[in-house]
Structures are given as C-alpha cells and as structure tokens.
Amino acid sequence: DGDWVDSNEEEDLQHVPYSPLRYSEETMLERSKDFYTLLNQRRSVRFISPEPVPREVIDNVIRTAGTAPSGAHTEPWTFVVVSDPEMKHQIRLIVEEEEEVNYRQRMGDKWVNDLAKLRTNWIKEYLDVAPYLVLIFKQTYGILPDGKKKTHYYNEISVSISCGILLAALQV
C-alpha cells in the first residue's frame, strides 16, 4: 500500500548513548523504599478535590509519562489537557453514557456485583470537579512529514505503560 512507509525508506535515527547514574547499595535501598512508600499511598478514588493545581505541574507529569518505553520508540500517545468547565461536562456526559452501557450490557453480572462492593457506578461527578482532565489517546500509526503512515508497534501496551508512569508521577 503506497500510503505506508517502507522500513527501508525510513531515516536513520541517531543513537543516544545511555549512561545511568550509579548508586551505592545503601542509596539504592533507600531510594527504592522511598519510592515504594510514595506509591503505596496511591489509591483509586472517585472523589476529586476541586483545589487548583498549577498547570506546570500537569505539564511536568505529562512530560514524565512521555518518557515511557514504546515499541520501536514510536511514542504512540497523545495527551490532551482539558480545563474548560463546559468541555469537561461534555466529556462527562460521553463517559457516563458509555459506562452505563458497560454496566448494563458489556461487563456481566459478576463484574457488576464485584464493583457494587466498591460503591462505584457509571455516574462520574468527579469529571466536572477535577481542575483538569488528562485525556490519553492511543495512536495506531503516525503520519510522517511526507504524509505516509508509519506503524506504531505495541501501541496499546506502550500507552498503558505511559499511563502507569503518569499515575506514578501524579503522586509526587
């Protein structure tokens, strides 16, 4: 297909040497304990504070998520930050509509019953309350400057890893 780039046509990427910092065993142990302690405070919550957060913090968290490994270094993600109250509300309506279909049709009785213990449902009031929503989109392919498509390998797992790093970065 002429719309897709041939791997032989791709430009050579410059190799960037990796020289990680080396830590003493004591420092490694301390850093690993501190990181665990920090992330162990993370919880899945459905009650979000309306307290303002500096936009630069959100930008730094997204930059951190963008350091995730990706198949063939394609970085198949797009992050979109939404702060406009009306746009957040429109997103909430779309999410709730899809979630209601999940609960009523897709998930099955066992899953819905398991979630009932957590007192969760398809109502997502926190989407209106949060100062920012960070939407994350998976790119199955990229568009090169010449208009040809480039395959993004392992795009789903790459985006999932990036989301995990984003969640970790939000704890800092």
Q: How many residues does the chain have?
A: 172
pLDDT over 90, % of the chain: 82
Alpha carbons 53 and 66: distance in angstroms, whole number: 20
- The pTM of this model reads 0.86
Mean pLDDT of the chain: 93
Are the C-beta atoms of residues 166 and 68 closer than 8 Å to each other? no
| Maximum distance among all Cα pairs of the chain, rounded to whole angstroms | 56
Are the C-beta atoms of residues 134 and 81 closer than 8 Å to each other? yes
pLDDT tens per residue, range 106-139: 999 999 999 999 988 999 999 999 999 999 999 9
pLDDT tens per residue, range 136-150: 999 999 999 999 999
Are the C-beta atoms of residues 138 and 72 closer than 8 Å to each other? no
From the list 163, 93, 114, the residue with the least C-alpha distance to 134 is 163
What band does 13 get if pLDDT is binned at 50, 70 and 90? confident
pLDDT score at 5: 82
Q: Is the pLDDT of residue 6 over 80?
A: no
pLDDT tens per residue, range 75-93: 999 999 999 999 999 999 9
- For the chain, the three-class secondary structure string (H helix, E strand, C coil) is CCCECCCCCCCCCCCCCCCCCCCCHHHHHHHHHHHHHHHCCCCCCCCCCCCCCCHHHHHHHHHHHCCCCCHHHCCCEEEEEECCHHHHHHHHHHHHHHHHHHHHHHCCHHHHHHHHCCCCCCCCCHHHHCCCEEEEEECCEEECCCCCEEECCCHHHHHHHHHHHHHHHCCC
